[in-house]
């Protein structure tokens, strides 16, 4: 039941974050440091996360993922064809493993 609740919360949070990740904001944030203020959807990590969340695996197109070890906000996932990613749904980022 805890895993099901985690999946529901993650799906809800991903839905909220996709608009933010795509750069939809009422006013742009002022940039203080290089790269700061750039919408997460315009970074490589953000683009990869959006690809996984909306279209599935960017390498093979599979929409079936198995959850692996997790720690903090990061979770390892693997598609049915073996492509592995480290995602952080709360931050809307993903990395290839």
Question: Model confidence over 16-75: pLDDT tens digits?
Answer: 555 555 555 555 555 555 556 677 778 888 899 999 999 999 999 999 999 998 888 899
Q: How many domains does the chain have?
A: 1
Residue 74 maps to a domain: yes
Residue 29 maps to a domain: no
Range of the domain at 77: 2-24+36-96
Q: pLDDT value at position 19? A: 55
Residue 30 maps to a domain: no
Token digits of residue 94: 């993903």
Between CA 91 and CA 5 the distance in angstroms is 19
Residue 31 maps to a domain: no
């Amino acid at each position: 039941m805890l895993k099901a609740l985690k999946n529901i919360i993650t799906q809800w949070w991903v839905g909220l974050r996709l608009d933010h990740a795509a750069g939809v904001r009422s006013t742009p944030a002022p940039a203080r440091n290089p790269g700061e203020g750039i919408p997460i959807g315009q970074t490589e990590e953000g683009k990869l996360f959006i690809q996984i969340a909306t279209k599935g695996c960017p390498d093979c197109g599979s929409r079936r993922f198995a959850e692996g070890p997790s720690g903090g906000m990061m979770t390892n996932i693997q598609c049915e064809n073996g492509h592995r990613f480290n995602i952080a749904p709360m931050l809307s980022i993903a990395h290839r493993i």
